[in-house]
Amino acid sequence: MSDTTEMTLEQREATIGGIGCSRRRKEDIRFIQGKGNYVDDVKLPGQVFGDFVRSPHAHARIKSIDTEKSKALPGVLAVLTADDLKPLNLHWMPTLAGDSQAVLADEKVHFQNQEVAFVIGEDRYAVSDGVQAVEVDYEDLPALVDPKRALAKDAPVLREDVAAKDNVGQGPRKHPNHIFTWDIGDKGETDQAFSGAAVTVKEEIFYHRVHPCPLEPCGCVASMDKIKGELTLYGTFQAPHVIRTVVSLISGLPEHKIRVIAPDIGGGFGNKVGAYAGYVCATVATIVLGRPVKWVESRIDNLSTTSFARDYHMTGELAADKDGRITGLRVNVLADHGAFNSHAQPSKWPAGFFNIVTGSYDIPAAYVSVDGVYTNKAPGGVAYRCSFRVTEASYLIERMIDVLAQKVGVDKAEIRLRNFVKPEQFPYKSCLDWEYDSGDYHTALNKVLDAVGYKALREEQAEKRKRGELMGIGFATFTEIVGAGPSRNCDILGIGMFDSCEIRIHPTGSAVARLGTKSQGQGHETTYAQIIATELGLPSDDITVEEGDTDTAPYGLGTYGSRSTPVAGAAAAQAARKIRAKAQKIAAHMLEVAEGDLEWEIDRFKVKGLPEKTATMKQIAFAAYQSVPEGLEPGLEAVNYYDPPNFTYPFGAYLCVVDVDRLTGEVKVRRFYALDDCGTRINPMIIEGQVHGGLAEAFGIAMGQELTFDENGNIQGASLMDYFLPTAVETPVWETDHTVTPSPHHPIGAKGVGESPNVGGVSAISNAVVDAFAHLGVTHMPMPHTPWRVWKQCEALGIGE
Amino acid sequence: MNKTAVKMTVNGQAVEGKAEPRLLLIHFLRDELGLTGPHVGCETSHCGACTVDLDGKSVKSCTVFAVQAEGANITTVEGMANADGSLSALQEGFMQEHGLQCGYCTPGMIMRAHRLLQENPNPSEAEIRMGIAGNLCRCTGYQNIVKAVRYAADKLNGQREAAE
């Protein structure tokens, strides 16, 4: 009863193209022909454009705004200011962190390039003229740039709107510029570990302000159908359903009258999670004008206003015995959140999952305290290929363990092996309250040491040092926490951070699957189809995956924090399993046996002991619409909302070798070996691609990217003329490897991988640079390791000339 | 602002339109001709997402005025398929070697690689890296893009040899 009986098991597996194979991507065929559909490609009848008048000042009072000359220009249709939004109560919007954020500056501006007015016109050029013609009179105020000054008695008060509040959404405050204090761990026990320690080390570690800078900037097209009262909002949304709920909550439009569509997205890396002023202004403008309104930010707008990352001023301390076995960890953080607390992360976690800071190490006692403060800089704070502050945490512990290794005189690989959580300790409960699902750190690091010939590298380094040459070897043996998250710990706007998948099998055995996530380049159309293919025995080529349209996809929390595979991937497997359970009932009916007499084999059920009696999934699909057993509904579809029981904990062992030119400060990454363990591997080609990309971003962060400000709060280097995006020439060659330690709680054992290379890559590169100077007594060098900074280090050591 | 008539050949088709003197070629291609393959990524000619082929040279169409392209012969990614409609060697290479993720840089990257292979049909890895240094990619780390270009070079060279 099968059309594939002549095929071998291997051939049938190959036909399915399921989990584990490096299938070429379904999405590529449109992108390589220029037929992607990104938000700026959306062109609706009657569409007009909008753009912002932005503040040249970081901190100023707005005395007046004159829009008359602008409005008189040909092609300019309207100019919106905070006063126009006030009657709608849309001049401020709530942030996901419990604070509020100005949509258009209301009486004051709080950072340079803040949105002051929104000009709408017939085309981009008319709008540009209109923006220039708006006259704003400012009274300059002293800018607060250094977060270390934020809590001083005489510091300028930035947020007059909340100055009197004792809480702006994340706990008690102690100063008008203070946002929250968050702490975790046993302080007393940690203090005790330090007081009795044979060795202690302490280091000031600053993770600088960077920006994800996806190649496509943020944008939207808002279109109000006044007759139907329906709003359609196209945009660069990593989390389209959340955007729909936010738009409904702040606009008052009922949620069923809002359709949010995220078309193809040109990279996100966290930059496209948040809700920005442009989305609100375009929405108001379409409601006012009755015409579709497009807003797309420029690169300078993107770098200077939409969600930066990091800006964590950390002090790390380790206590250890004389052999370098860690007995305690203490971390204090001053977090610069900018002018509004609008970081997009689970609402109970003001410092994200920073308490993953014990990393891959079995640390008995730890205490972490984080203070968030306002400064006159753009808001944001968690974006950039990172699961909610894991990157900062991992950088801190990976740097600190090197500092400790140097102090006790133990090799930097050996100190890691001594402190790793051991395989038999999993599931491992960390002293900062996480339960690591699975891991095998020793195997991973040993595999890397063997692959690169570590002993020989250290010998080469010793030889070079004798000759006065600088060579560094850096490690990162990181553990991530991804897959946010269990609804008991994680929510956004009170909505649990589950995700979802709906699968419909058509009568002829092809299928459509819709999910609550949204790919920005990760290849979901390919990988989700592979999961479903394996679960259902249908060829992945015959499974269409759709995301990003809130009218069709089930509610989900979106794609960020490496959560798609751990959460929505699990939902896909679970929904498929529901379908397979129903298919089994239908197969039993078809084959006239009891359900229990059937067993599953790749793409079909077969009767136990009668291997020729089979029903393929394709045959079952047709039967589901033709002759189901009595009492069973026709059709073959299922939906699953997956609330993960735990996070997943991908890990890796990275090794980086650098050569440093002491006369120029130039650092050359000679070798980079990245071993990742993301559990079950769905598509090795895509995993490897993600690792390459994450490492290249890590290289940019470690070696050159930084957003800095002068003392007046002027942002410096917010264009691609200055902001370092590595080209193919600077970017090193990456070597990849893997081990597979499946997640025990995930339906297919997968953990997620997209952010691992960024988390581990930055630390490995930075550690290699510092290691090049370790024999000269250097324990830390602040990123980014530009030639100038590295040369200054050489100069300070008297080896720069 | 007054508009000027412009004529050019785009992907083998004669096109004409009206353009303000300040209208950028990228906006003429995208908004007037509906060719949304080339993208805008930076407006400062650094990212290369807008790269098109203009009279046998790679240009960044965000820093060329439409009126400057009067009479020019332009190819965009939409014109890259073989005459029979099949994928060109470069397009195939990008797919086979996983040389793209989000796809935003891809049209510019393919156009640049196309010109590179015209100039140097057998480039080394270093020459490929230097040859595409004016095009930024945030997703791939370039490694597979280099492989994709090499894939196309090998395929095209093989076809040439077979023809000779």
pLDDT tens-digit series, residues B86-129: 999 999 999 999 999 999 999 999 999 999 999 999 999 999 99
Instruction: Note the ipTM here.
Output: 0.98
| Residues A720, B136: C-beta atoms closer than 8 Å | yes
d(C-alpha A380, C-alpha B100), whole Å:
28
Q: What angle do CA A99, A102, A106 make, to 5 degrees?
A: 130
d(C-alpha A797, C-alpha A774), whole Å:
12
Residue of B nearest to A34 (CA): B37
| Residues A216, B102: C-beta atoms closer than 8 Å | yes
Q: Give the bridge partners for A371, in sequence order.
A: A181, A334
Contacts of A692 in chain B (CB under 8 A): 140-144
Q: Given its phi and psi angles, is residue A410 left (phi above 0), alpha (psi -120 to 50 degrees) or beta? A: beta
**Closest CA relative to residue A388, chosen from A437, A354, A338, A436:** A354
Q: Given its phi and psi angles, is residue A310 left (phi above 0), alpha (psi -120 to 50 degrees) or beta? A: left
Rounded to an integer, the average pLDDT of A766-779 is 98
What integer pLDDT is reported at residue A381 of this predicted model? 84
Q: Does A697 contact chain B (CB < 8 Å)?
A: yes
| Residues A24, B96: C-beta atoms closer than 8 Å | yes
| Residues A215, B47: C-beta atoms closer than 8 Å | yes
Residue of B nearest to A757 (CA): B141
Is residue A3 predicted with pLDDT exceeding 90?
Answer: no
What integer pLDDT is reported at residue A5 of this predicted model? 62
| Residues B105, A689: C-beta atoms closer than 8 Å | no
Contact status, residue A356 vs residue A393, Cβ threshold 8 Å: yes
Is residue B1 predicted with pLDDT exceeding 80?
Answer: no
Q: Do domains A9-36+499-642 and A385-481+648-796 have the same CATH topology?
A: yes
**Closest CA relative to residue A204, chosen from A403, A410, A355:** A403
Rounded to an integer, the average pLDDT of B1-25 is 95
Is residue A383 predicted with pLDDT exceeding 90?
Answer: no
Among B101, B124, B144, the residue to mutate for chain A (most A Cβ within 10 A): B101
A526-580 pLDDT, tens digit per residue, is 999 999 999 999 999 999 999 999 999 999 999 999 999 999 999 999 999 999 9
Rounded to an integer, the average pLDDT of A412-416 is 98
Residues 6+ apart with CB under 8 A from A208: A310, A311, A705, A706, A707, A782, A783, A784
Contacts of B132 in chain A (CB under 8 A): 727-728
Confidence band of A317 (pLDDT split at 50, 70, 90): very high
Contacts of A728 in chain B (CB under 8 A): 128-130, 132-133, 135, 137, 142, 145-146
d(C-alpha A738, C-alpha A678), whole Å:
8
d(C-alpha A599, C-alpha A284), whole Å:
57
Contact status, residue A285 vs residue A49, Cβ threshold 8 Å: no
Is residue A347 predicted with pLDDT exceeding 90?
Answer: no
% of chain A residues with pLDDT over 70: 99
> Long-range contacts for B14-19 (Cβ within 8 Å, ≥24 apart)?
B17/B66, B19/B65, B19/B66, B19/B67
| Residues B91, A692: C-beta atoms closer than 8 Å | no
Contacts of A696 in chain B (CB under 8 A): 138, 140-142
Cis preceding linkage at A539, omega within 30: no
Domain ranges of chain A: 9-36+499-642, 39-141+217-265+272-305, 385-481+648-796
What are A261's two structure tokens? Answer: 């569509």
Of B35, B44, B146, the CB nearest to A721: B44
The H-or-E segment that residue B125 falls in is: helix B125-131
Residues of A numbered 714-773 whose beta carbons fall under 8 angstroms of chain B's beta carbons: which are they?
719-721, 725, 727-729, 731, 733-734
Total residues found in chain A within this entry: 801
Residues 6+ apart with CB under 8 A from A362: A326, A419, A420, A421, A422, A425, A428
| Residues B144, A686: C-beta atoms closer than 8 Å | no
As a CATH number, domain A385-481+648-796 is: 3.30.365.10
What integer pLDDT is reported at residue A211 of this predicted model? 97
Positive or negative, the CA dihedral A675, A676, A680, A686 is: negative
Confidence band of A2 (pLDDT split at 50, 70, 90): very low
* Three-state secondary structure string covering A218-279: CEEEEEEECCCCEEEEEECCCCHHHHHHHHHHHHCCCHHHEEEECCECCCCCCCCCCCCHHH
Residues of A numbered 520-559 whose beta carbons fall under 8 angstroms of chain B's beta carbons: which are they?
520-523
| Residues B103, A31: C-beta atoms closer than 8 Å | yes
Residue of A nearest to B20 (CA): A125
% of chain B residues with pLDDT over 70: 99
Residues 6+ apart with CB under 8 A from A672: A654, A655, A656, A657, A695, A732, A733, A734, A735, A761, A764, A765
What integer pLDDT is reported at residue A801 of this predicted model? 87
| Residues B77, A697: C-beta atoms closer than 8 Å | no
- To the nearest whole Å, the CA of B6 is away from the closest chain A CA by 18
What integer pLDDT is reported at residue B43 of this predicted model? 87
Is residue A1 predicted with pLDDT exceeding 50?
Answer: no
Residues of A numbered 294-313 whose beta carbons fall under 8 angstroms of chain B's beta carbons: which are they?
296, 298-299
Is residue A123 predicted with pLDDT exceeding 80?
Answer: yes
CA distances from residue A307 to A274, A698, B50 in whole angstroms, order as listed: 7, 18, 25
Residue of A nearest to B144 (CA): A689
A125-173 pLDDT, tens digit per residue, is 999 999 999 999 999 999 999 999 999 999 999 999 999 999 999 999 9
Residues of A numbered 215-274 whose beta carbons fall under 8 angstroms of chain B's beta carbons: which are they?
215-217, 264-267, 269
Cα A578 from chain centroid (whole Å)? 30
Of A34, A217, A296, the CB nearest to B78: A34
As a CATH number, domain A39-141+217-265+272-305 is: 3.90.1170.50
Rounded to an integer, the average pLDDT of A75-86 is 98
The H-or-E segment that residue A203 falls in is: strand A199-210
d(C-alpha A665, C-alpha A667), whole Å:
6
% of chain A residues with pLDDT over 90: 96
Residues 6+ apart with CB under 8 A from B154: none
Determine how many CB atoms are found less than 10 A away from the CB of residue A798. Answer: 8
- Say which CATH architecture domain A9-36+499-642 belongs to: 2-Layer Sandwich (3.30)
| Residues A213, B106: C-beta atoms closer than 8 Å | no
Determine how many CB atoms are found less than 10 A away from the CB of residue A745. Answer: 18
d(C-alpha B69, C-alpha A2), whole Å:
61
**What is chain A's mean pLDDT, rounded?**
97
Q: Write the single-letter amino acid at A425.
A: Q
| Residues B100, A32: C-beta atoms closer than 8 Å | yes
Active site residue ranges of A:
238, 385-386, 755
Contact status, residue A481 vs residue A356, Cβ threshold 8 Å: yes
Contacts of B94 in chain A (CB under 8 A): 28, 32
